[in-house]
Structure 1
């Protein structure tokens, strides 16, 4: 594997600087002086989750870092692989495409410098429209409807158009950040937003405060069709997620994992993994979707190898990583 460390690590951090309790015994001689987490657009869960996680790492481990707005999982995979960011957030569908050389951003390039760290949460695919539109089901979406699919090349933009096409929806495709699309929906510039994001989606919660919306579920038949044709799982959006919902809403979902450059220092990644996995209460303070950011869910990564630093923490704590998923 080629070495991209020189583009990630901008210096070393002396052990005499601020030493967080969790990493007091770690060898910091090869640690980065700073790091960046690739997230997604503002108004989406990735941005909130990734920025909050970056701040937790920076505060506790004494390394300068933060979240960066990106186009989402597909771009994050390319940025991590190329060494342009140290960490990122990714969905398993785009991750599978990336490692097999099918990323739309780099066709034919097998992204082999991307390793998994820990499970985040499931990304439900959900649809929101204004109540005044009269759209209460997928079959109600009129021909030629203007549908916002999130940032270009995001998980939503990669899979949701194909899902709606499979379900017989004819639409005019629009892209943009989630907050921007929420504003366009409220202003009548688009008709529907097809979200693929961790819940609660900040843009939807904001819309609920400002106007009346319909959160549209899949019918049983629609769900079965999507499960048969796409790499997704069954999901129920709990009624407690949004004020608008009166009962759980049927959906489909993909798992998300945090990712890292495989050539990041093992000790550094070990401490990042330890901090994250041993402080789920603090992760839930970042975003409540982190309730599933627990080591028991590592089984949902069947695509990427785990970083050696992450493997060390899991195995020390009784979680087995198959040999096939180790470097």
Structure 2
């Protein structure tokens, strides 16, 4: 399971007296450095994950950064094995990983990846060039070349199944979001099916460079997807992209940060505090962090909580986490 370091290590020599976690706190067992498994460049995971990795590194005075990976499925594997201390996943891939059906390691139940904090909802959306004439799912031609993101990502895992459910016949393509955006512009793809927090950097870049259509689900299509998949109703706000004239009907899946369950509770609690204690700072990293709020701890119904994270949410968000949902209990 190889991944590539993109974000430079960040560290500080000392911390201010006002920091929530002082340097003289007991740091027994804390790692000298950490990595956060994200996804491909051009996607929300990479921007969001690299941002909070740098923030935690700076605030805690530890070298750390984000890693380019294959996304949620690979992140679950990396965190489970300890090859990455932290990672990000969606609830669908998390459930499959716990059940032993993660394609990265079939049969391996990845129970050593624990819930850390709620991130945001991942909407499923479709983008095509305006010049293609594709403005609805029904317009997608038979055998269309559709980019579904990196292999094994949430998008690649669920969006092809959704398209099949809606009767779309397609030629499946994979790649990083930035790369797929370039292929769409060059006419090598007909459509890109995104599952990523909004605004998706690759879509924002596309609409600056060319005219695009952001395609919403019809009410009937949305209802069909809600019935068949572990997703929720969602609307992409009209001000998310300049291309949109109003809210766009979609479906979404919740994302959570995960931590290796063997990490010291004090370290994970400190990292959670950095992320969850100042939402404005997180929103400056990525607008999707508007949902990175303490009260959204309830959105995890799949993963056991890391003890350090559970302690933070109990003390700061009034969380009533069942004992059997905390790792080690």
Q: TM-score, normalised by structure 1?
A: 0.94
Equivalents in 2 of 1:58, 1:29: separation in Å? 17
Residues 182-209 of structure 1 deviation map (CA, whole Å, 9 limit, x = unaligned) = 0000010100000000000000000000
Specify the alignment match of 2:126 in structure 1. Answer: 127
Deviates more, 1:135-144 or 1:22-31: 22-31
Equivalents in 1 of 2:25, 2:81: separation in Å? 26
Specify the alignment match of 1:275 in structure 2. Answer: 274
Measure how far apart 1:22 and its partner are. Answer: 2.0
Residues 67-93 of structure 1 deviation map (CA, whole Å, 9 limit, x = unaligned) = 000000000000000110000010000
Specify the alignment match of 1:321 in structure 2. Answer: 321
Measure how far apart 1:28 and its partner are. Answer: 1.1
> In the alignment, is the contact (CA less than 8 A) between 2:89 and 2:257 conserved in 1?
yes
Superposition pairs of residues 253-264 of structure 1, within 5 angstroms:
253-264=252-263
> In the alignment, is the contact (CA less than 8 A) between 1:26 and 1:267 conserved in 2?
no
Equivalents in 1 of 2:25, 2:143: separation in Å? 58
Specify the alignment match of 1:215 in structure 2. Answer: 214
Specify the alignment match of 1:18 in structure 2. Answer: 14
Measure how far apart 1:229 and its partner are. Answer: 0.5
Specify the alignment match of 1:237 in structure 2. Answer: 236
Equivalents in 2 of 1:168, 1:29: separation in Å? 56
Measure how far apart 1:36 and its partner are. Answer: 0.3
> In the alignment, is the contact (CA less than 8 A) between 2:121 and 2:252 conserved in 1?
yes
Equivalents in 1 of 2:99, 2:33: separation in Å? 30
Measure how far apart 1:322 and its partner are. Answer: 1.9
Equivalents in 2 of 1:94, 1:152: separation in Å? 13
Equivalents in 1 of 2:104, 2:68: separation in Å? 17
Residues 33-66 of structure 1 deviation map (CA, whole Å, 9 limit, x = unaligned) = 1000000000000000000000000111000000
Secondary structure of residue in 2 paired with 1:258:
strand
Specify the alignment match of 2:149 in structure 1. Answer: 150
Secondary structure of residue in 1 paired with 2:56:
helix
Equivalents in 1 of 2:115, 2:15: separation in Å? 26
Secondary structure of residue in 2 paired with 1:30:
coil
Equivalents in 2 of 1:306, 1:18: separation in Å? 30
Structure 2 gap ranges (5+)? 1-12
> In the alignment, is the contact (CA less than 8 A) between 1:125 and 1:252 conserved in 2?
yes
Specify the alignment match of 1:35 in structure 2. Answer: 34
Secondary structure of residue in 1 paired with 2:105:
coil
Specify the alignment match of 1:306 in structure 2. Answer: 305
Specify the alignment match of 2:139 in structure 1. Answer: 140
Secondary structure of residue in 2 paired with 1:74:
helix
Measure how far apart 1:297 and its partner are. Answer: 0.4
Measure how far apart 1:18 and its partner are. Answer: 2.6
Equivalents in 2 of 1:200, 1:19: separation in Å? 33
Secondary structure of residue in 2 paired with 1:94:
helix
Q: RMSD of aligned C-alpha atoms?
A: 1.1
Equivalents in 1 of 2:30, 2:14: separation in Å? 13
Aligned residues: 312
Measure how far apart 1:19 and its partner are. Answer: 4.0
Residues 112-164 of structure 1 deviation map (CA, whole Å, 9 limit, x = unaligned) = 10001110000000000000000000010000100000000000000000000
Match status 1:246 vs 2:245: yes
Measure how far apart 1:219 and its partner are. Answer: 0.4
Specify the alignment match of 2:8 in structure 1. Answer: none
Equivalents in 1 of 2:287, 2:189: separation in Å? 29
Equivalents in 1 of 2:250, 2:101: separation in Å? 26
Equivalents in 2 of 1:152, 1:121: separation in Å? 22
Structure 1 gap ranges (5+)? 1-16
Measure how far apart 1:108 and its partner are. Answer: 1.2
